[in-house]
Amino acid sequence: MAARAGMPLFMRLVPPARDDGLSAGVGTPPRASAIAAVLIGIVALGIGLGLAAGVCALALMAAAFVFLAWLCMRHIGGQTGDVLGALEQIGEIIVLLVAAANMGG
């Protein structure tokens, strides 16, 4: 849930790279929807991982979000459906790695 939560915000902040394609066809999510999705994702992290690990995962996901936004703007001029899929996969990997690291403690 948390891995998908940032996608609407990413779509609001990073313009589509092309005029066609799935991401451009969907349009820009409303601001309230993007904020609600992020808040739901944060709550899911807190419930699923606990406060400390949830904050760690959130910080790493935010860093990945910013880096991916910079990377796709620099190389392709915006986001695409594939970029959004990559964002979700990166977020999921971060959550799983933080959860695995937290199991030893």
Residue 4 has which token pair? Answer: 């998908």
Total of domains in the chain = 1
Using CA atoms, how far residue 39 sits from 32, 42, 72, 78, in Å, is 11, 5, 25, 24
CA distance 19 to 16: 7
- Supply φ then ψ for residue 16, to 5 degrees: -60, 145
Per residue in 47-102, pLDDT tens? Answer: 999 999 999 999 999 999 999 999 999 999 999 999 999 999 999 999 999 999 99
Quick one: pLDDT at residue 20? 82
Token look-up 């406060």 returns: 51
Range of the domain at 43: 2-103
Q: Provide DSSP, 44-104.
A: HHHHHH-HHHHHHHHHHHHHHHHHHHHHHHHHHSSB-HHHHHHHHHHHHHHHHHHHHHHHT
Position 21 pLDDT exceeds 90: no
